[in-house]
Amino acid sequence: MVKVNVLKNGIKVVTEELSYLRTVSFGVWIRVGSAKENKENNGISHMIEHMLFKGTKSKSAKEIADIIASIGDDVNAFTSKEQTCYYGTTITESLPILVELVADMLCNSLLSEEDLRKEKRVIYEEIDMYEDSADDMVHEILQQNVFKDHPLGYIISGYKKNVRSFKRRQLIDFMEKHYVAENIVISVAGNFSENELMNQLERCFGGIRGTNPKALNSLTLLKKKKEELLLAPYEEKYQQKQDEIPSYHTCFCHRHKDNEQLHINLAYPSIPLGSDESVVFAVVNSMLGGSNNSRLFQRIREELSLVYSIYTYGSSFEKAGLFHLDITVNPQQAFRVLRETKLVMDEFLATPITIEELDTHKAQVKTEFILGSESAKARMNSNAKSVLVRGYVKTLDEVIEELNRLSAEDINRFANKVWGDSSASLCVIGAESGVSFRALKKEYQNLFLKSTNTKA
């Protein structure tokens, strides 16, 4: 059973005991990432994540690495646009060591200037590696342009110029602002003693300050009011009423890269995290391009043999969301692939969905949901995200019940709302010698721009 408790300082703790396991997953999630940055400090969340492994008041970086190795070598961290997470999975008897280690890193890291200077070089290499990946860059560049000057468009690692400028005091000030109790969710799933865990969490994390006194008895605040969640697709007409929601900018963008193939990414405005339509999104995604028996995969790859890779996926944030379509294609086939893709999408909207197709993809999504909930790490991740976004945990049974209720009409309505009524944005990365970007832009405008939208 999933439980949500609150430490005395307001940190939320979500636990799920899985007594049949001999392992446990532990994660500390902070509601901060590149979306909380500005142009001058973009990349600082990612830098802090790296620096917390570089040594504390009582442990050197080598001693931290030795402890991690001694409990299974499965302790790590990541930074996203809206969250930073420090996590690990270990055997049950080593959980106290893991909890103490992560708490020490969060509360007592040295953040020394010497370590900062060294770690900057590591991040330079990471940025270079990222720049070499057209698969990653086509997604990132598109989001930069879709969200324009909003921080959701910022690259998580930041650029070398910013990274080079970071000083120790900046890191400390940023942590003092964002690494506070009401921004933190601790998630634990697996085999553990709840009483022992809660006592240790209070000891280890109770010193983290909170800035919102109302959060101290925040069990009553955990479940956000339904009307505070954005349940409709992220649209410009809604943004006019909600200034804090990042604007969606229809765009065509490109970058020259001397590759053999073109990397194309399309995006439509879609649902944010916590939306009541996340289940219907999963089924629509599976049907259109998220599986090997999807319409796009079967038509574009299997029947026409035009591409090796074509698939759809979602990017969801607290107040925005995108529905992506990713294509890797030979430049000579690019125009035909875009036309065939649009035909498949139009046919999806115009042709009634059969019960057989719907049942197949509902079963597929159901299986993915269940398989994705079978490990302690998956449960830890899912529970944490749910509490961060919704304030409560939606059970797997509730999700499956929603899935079972979906009808063909629900699928068609959602598809029309996402790509039937909206213009897509498109980014392409590849060699300009292989294709005319100007001609590709014109083809994109003819196929994917609605006449009522401003030109990209």
């509601």: which residue's tokens? 31
* Residues that are catalytic: 49
Nearest Cα to Cα of residue 36 among 215, 246, 210: 246
């990397």: which residue's tokens? 263
- Pairing type for strands 425-430 and 252-256 reads parallel
Q: Which two tokens stand for residue 357?
A: 């197709």
Please state whether 242 falls in left (phi above 0), alpha (psi between -120 and 50) or beta: beta
Q: Of all residues in the chain, what percent are helix, strand and coil, respectively (each to 5)? A: 50, 20, 30
**Which residues lie across from 189 on neighbouring strands?**
16, 25
Phi/psi for 294 (5° steps) reads -70, 165
- Pairing type for strands 12-17 and 307-316 reads unpaired
Distance CA 17, CA 14 (A): 10
- Which of 29-51 are b and which e, b meaning 16 or more Cβ less than 10 Å from the residue's Cβ? bbbbbbbbbeeebbbbbbbbbbb
What do you get for the CA distance between the two ends of the chain, in Å?
49
- Residue length of the chain: 456
